[in-house]
Structure 1
């Protein structure tokens, strides 16, 4: 036998220890799921590829870079870029308001302009504790400038802001331009269906149905542009910088129905108005009708600022002052007097009649052809009586003549400050249209509305306390339900009834025998 070789044993032990060491280095970490063997292999490959100087000094950094390279794609600390928000889109559109055209002439801008001094209006509104804020008022001013330049309007002013459930409406009031043509068609004009009339009459004749005597009431014609409720043009936008939209003219039917319904605005002009009675139009028409109603009830001015127009003459008997003009001799009214007396304020917008117009129109007057045809077949005695014309309060009527509603005074007046009365402004607030305000200081005044566009309808509804519950009906033998009898009781009752019936039959038989014997 050959003697054992000690070198082979030692080499075998080294192989076993190397295998166990490699197995140890191949164990994955529970945190990073990496092992030391692969990491050292990658570090050595990086050293051989880059050949850096002073490897022993930068080996730690290279090891860290190798680890970071493995986790860079999986664990990124950078977030994805967010999508553009609505506020950023609005800011991009409002940025155009602050841009100035390169070919603009500064001398033309310094000349008389159709724009009001919105900054001054905002200052006085702040004295009264009102307004939209300085930043928004400045953006509104630039938006009004954009409107004047795009529409070429002779005069424009900030009418106010009507709030909505989704968005609000910023409203601008402008004078009508020369040669303004009506672009909207009336939605209340009756549709004449002459072709269907013969079919209806033939169908009624065959079935011998009674003919209807109902006559469609005449449609109240709407007022022409530049008169009455359509005296001014109105433009709306949701936010300064967004495009302005021109509102359609208002019709008497829309004003009449708007007085009978209460609807919050949504902020979308094309939204249908679902109500009873049905409203003839969408939210744009309803908005225009509410603007006409609010203007007619809340647009006021200091006494003496306006005077009757020259065309009025001596027509005081008719009680209609239909036009007015600025009084050049107006020197202003003291603030204290305007804050204490409603007689120092007057209405300068036409009152809207029950007919839905500012000027009454006689619907009983018919055309010559219709009157001749009816005169041949009907007697004159059947013609209706001439209706009495409806007359409203004339222009420049003092506010002291306004009637109360729901035991509430129509107006509330005060001073902006009682400590510095010499620099205060007079403030007037409408109680019937919450949100309508007007200030006056010397020769300056301005009307503003900021609200929901709804009229005051009295105190909130509070249901009455329910009555005390009634007592139960007293129980007694006449109403108490009897218990069901048992089987023995039913059998005994049955036998008693049979015996009673047998006895009665026996008596009847005996009576018959006695009668036979007689």
Structure 2
């Protein structure tokens, strides 16, 4: 009997083992091999409380079977934007041997010490960080070497919705002023052909419009006024630098009336009211000119007025200055307390949109013909009063308050180690504009959205009332239609006049016959 039961148990075990070794139709694996590998894994790893984690261990065993299997098709690794930018910035850290030899021969460099400027900006709690400032310094160095600029500095960084603008301020090269001035000249207007003698003059000519478009002030010459410096922008250090166009008074005046965030694309249109004459590159250049005119400051006495040959006209403000060799350091505490120790060293932009006023009512052709029409032009020019702004190197204490807000705020960088502190100046009208001074060293920088503070609530300008195109008068004004009574009365008057004329003619005929 025991032998029979033993043979039955062996058969059941073989049947059970065969059932466990049956391959699955999905994974082509069997349970017997899976349990064997799972038990080997438990024994090899000496897992504590294996009964609690046996499900996770079973998944690991299954996952290990497919880890080494690779399909014939592989996904192409996508290069991220950070990797692309890194590849482009690698060129900043490599320098040709020729450039190194040239720098050894040159005594004066075209770039300031950006690392030192970054250190002082860090003390003033502003700046872009040491790593970014170092990359920007290398990008500026590449710009100077490629363009051959005589002088260049970091103006600042303007933030945008899609990307930002790193702005570099540079002096124009010799000969570049004449080339750009020729390109900026407007094209000659096409003259309308005069009426030929054969054309018949209309008996009832159409009324002529009295509308005269507003004359725009001419653009300032390259190297003067708002176009004194050239500006280059790039989105990231290592990307190509793009030179901004010169600015016109119309663009500056329109930029004063609108508020637009920058998108980061220089070619994008500026949709606003009033319409802006240009794209985002022109709008960016106009905002840079406005920010520079209002926030570029220096310690009083560091600069002095330049010597000019034509000093007869005192009304025209000077636009040139030079470094004062006898400048003495101003104490940091005094510069932090008094705004009179700071001065503007960039010309003020007038309401006309220029730094120097020009009479737009008088054309150059009319000035040459003063003998023929001199009296009329002189009377018109005398009626227009020239606009004069604040002189160059005006103290900041004379700046007017706006919206009950002081235009400037000053402080000391630290009071713990006062002997190493610097004076920090912040603009309240242009948030993001900062300046620092320490001894004979100072610098200006702007990091912001490029918008001016206009108070708590901003209201866009409303459209002006429509202008009258034609003058009202009996020549062009349409009369009202008469009433039936007036028509009947007029008809009777005409009949009486006709009857009177006929009687007069009849009486004259009778007299002639007699």
Q: TM-score, normalized by length of structure 2?
A: 0.72
Structure 1 counterpart of 2:394: 397
**Pair member with larger Rg:** 1
1:323 Cα deviation from its structure 2 partner: 1.6
Q: Could you say if the C-alpha distance between residues 448 and 25 of structure 1 is closer, same or farther in structure 2, counting changes exceeding 3 Å?
A: closer
1:210 Cα deviation from its structure 2 partner: 1.6
Is 2:339 aligned against 1:342? yes
Aligned to 1:343, the other structure's residue is in SS state helix
Structure 1 counterpart of 2:148: 152
1:420 Cα deviation from its structure 2 partner: 1.7
Q: Could you say if the C-alpha distance between residues 309 and 125 of structure 1 is closer, same or farther in structure 2, counting changes exceeding 3 Å?
A: same
1:218 Cα deviation from its structure 2 partner: 2.7
CA distance in structure 2 between the partners assigned to 1:209 and 1:92 by the alignment: 68
Ranges in structure 1 where 5+ consecutive residues have no aligned partner: 1-16, 40-66, 463-518
CA distance in structure 1 between the partners assigned to 2:120 and 2:65 by the alignment: 66
Aligned to 1:105, the other structure's residue is in SS state helix
In the TM superposition, what are the counterparts of 1:70-469 in structure 2 within 5 Å? Answer: 80=75, 82-105=77-100, 108-109=103-104, 111-180=107-176, 181-183=178-180, 189=186, 192-195=189-192, 208-311=205-308, 317-318=314-315, 320-368=317-365, 380=376, 384=380, 386=382, 387-460=384-457
Preserved CA contact (<8 Å) 2:232 2:242 = yes
Preserved CA contact (<8 Å) 1:93 1:242 = yes
What is the root-mean-square deviation in Å for CA atoms of aligned residues?
3.9
Ranges in structure 2 where 5+ consecutive residues have no aligned partner: 1-11, 35-61, 460-514
Preserved CA contact (<8 Å) 1:188 1:280 = no
CA distance in structure 1 between the partners assigned to 2:322 and 2:377 by the alignment: 47
CA distance in structure 2 between the partners assigned to 1:424 and 1:388 by the alignment: 48
1:308 Cα deviation from its structure 2 partner: 1.1
CA distance in structure 1 between the partners assigned to 2:195 and 2:320 by the alignment: 50
Preserved CA contact (<8 Å) 1:189 1:219 = no
Q: Could you say if the C-alpha distance between residues 144 and 69 of structure 1 is closer, same or farther in structure 2, counting changes exceeding 3 Å?
A: closer
Q: Could you say if the C-alpha distance between residues 213 and 166 of structure 1 is closer, same or farther in structure 2, counting changes exceeding 3 Å?
A: same
CA distance in structure 1 between the partners assigned to 2:145 and 2:396 by the alignment: 37
1:75 Cα deviation from its structure 2 partner: 7.2
Q: Could you say if the C-alpha distance between residues 329 and 379 of structure 1 is closer, same or farther in structure 2, counting changes exceeding 3 Å?
A: closer
CA distance in structure 2 between the partners assigned to 1:316 and 1:370 by the alignment: 19
Deviations 1:318-362 (A, max 9, x none): 262332110011122111110010100011001101111101111
CA distance in structure 2 between the partners assigned to 1:204 and 1:73 by the alignment: 96
Preserved CA contact (<8 Å) 1:204 1:211 = no
Q: How many residues align?
A: 415
Q: TM-score, normalized by length of structure 1?
A: 0.71
CA distance in structure 1 between the partners assigned to 2:99 and 2:431 by the alignment: 42
Aligned to 2:162, the other structure's residue is in SS state coil
CA distance in structure 2 between the partners assigned to 1:439 and 1:22 by the alignment: 86
Preserved CA contact (<8 Å) 1:153 1:174 = yes
